[in-house]
């Protein structure tokens, strides 16, 4: 017999409804099978849907399973922030007043609750793999001919989810890109990556420090993600490993704009604490009710 389960649809990385990245959150997921969760994710047809369960690890506040329409993910950034927002809004009390610990496929992910209106997650550790130079022509074809920097070859950053990270000549080049679906799918297959994240530096005084776009291919179709926490976390780990080549001040913090090409206005803040990046954003609930499942 179907049950009514608490449900929220949250817009993440924005304080303004419809301008960020939507996330569906099932707050009472205990008893659901993995197959049922996948069916819900395919039905919502959002980039991710999360399912909140009791924690199974000491120290965790709750356990989250994250599903895209294609399957389960060990970690993703905007679901981490959006689920925390939904839980706190629903009255959930974490064990610590200013810190929340999420349990997910990559382990325990801390979230900082101390900045009013903003939540931030600590980026999980990442492994960085340089891309074989023979793939560079395919990369240029995949991004529609946009030029990537020569001094910093593209890399795959593995954070449970694997992003191929490449740099455009600047924010405008990033925004003008028109990816080729076939070339991108071949590139991601060869690089064993889940998606392509491209970033470009804004001019001083611009709307942000970096412009970011993120692309995946799902069932043969090109999908641009509006605002991507994991891609920004991977970029932060990469720039830290490179020694912040654009600006030494970025060792402390920077701002990202994402979703511009989709008519969104995603705002991401990156802050470093003791050498670890924290990815921050605002969230707002757009739909609040129950899910019959």
Instruction: From the candidates 48, 103, 211, 224, give the one annotated as an active-site residue.
Output: 48
Query: Can you say how many angstroms the Cα of residue 228 is from the centroid of all Cα atoms in its chain?
Result: 3
Per the annotation, the verdict on 48 as an active-site residue is yes
Contact call for residues 264 and 22 (beta carbons, < 8 A): no
> Both tokens of residue 32?
């659901």
Alpha helices, DSSP H only, in the chain? Answer: 34-44, 77-89, 136-142, 171-176, 181-191, 229-242
DSSP one-letter string for 147-206: PBPSSS--EEEESSSEEEEEEBSSHHHHHH----HHHHHHHHHHHT-SEEEEEEEPPTTS
- Could you count the other beta carbons within 10 Å of the beta carbon of residue 292? 8
Give catalytic residue positions. Answer: 48
């Amino acid at each position: 017999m179907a049950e009514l389960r608490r449900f929220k649809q949250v817009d993440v990385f924005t304080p303004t409804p419809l301008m960020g990245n939507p996330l569906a959150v099932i707050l009472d997921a205990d008893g659901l099978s993995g197959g049922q969760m996948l069916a819900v994710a395919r039905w919502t047809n959002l980039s991710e849907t999360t399912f909140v369960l009791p924690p199974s690890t000491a120290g965790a506040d709750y356990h989250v399973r994250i599903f895209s329409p294609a399957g389960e993910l060990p970690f993703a950034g905007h679901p981490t922030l959006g689920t925390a927002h939904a839980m706190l809004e629903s009255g959930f009390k974490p064990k610590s007043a200013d810190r929340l610990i999420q349990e997910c496929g990559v382990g325990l992910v801390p979230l900082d609750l101390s900045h009013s209106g903003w939540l931030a997650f600590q980026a999980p550790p990442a492994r960085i793999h340089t891309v074989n130079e023979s793939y560079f022509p395919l990369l240029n074809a995949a991004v529609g001919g946009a030029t990537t920097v020569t001094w910093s070859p593209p890399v795959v950053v593995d954070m449970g989810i694997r992003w191929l990270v490449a740099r455009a000549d600047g924010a405008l080049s990033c925004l003008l890109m028109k990816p080729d679906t076939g070339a991108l799918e071949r590139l991601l297959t060869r690089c064993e990556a889940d998606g392509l994240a491209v970033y470009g530096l804004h001019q001083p005084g611009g709307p942000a420090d970096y412009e970011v776009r993120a692309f995946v291919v799902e069932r043969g179709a090109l999908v641009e993600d509006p605002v991507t926490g994991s891609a920004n976390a991977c970029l932060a780990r990469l720039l830290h490993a490179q020694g912040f080549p654009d600006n030494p001040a970025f060792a402390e913090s920077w701002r990202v704009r994402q979703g511009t090409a989709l008519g969104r206005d995603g705002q991401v803040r990156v802050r470093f604490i003791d050498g670890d990046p924290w990815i921050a954003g605002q969230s707002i609930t757009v739909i609040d009710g129950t899910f019959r499942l």
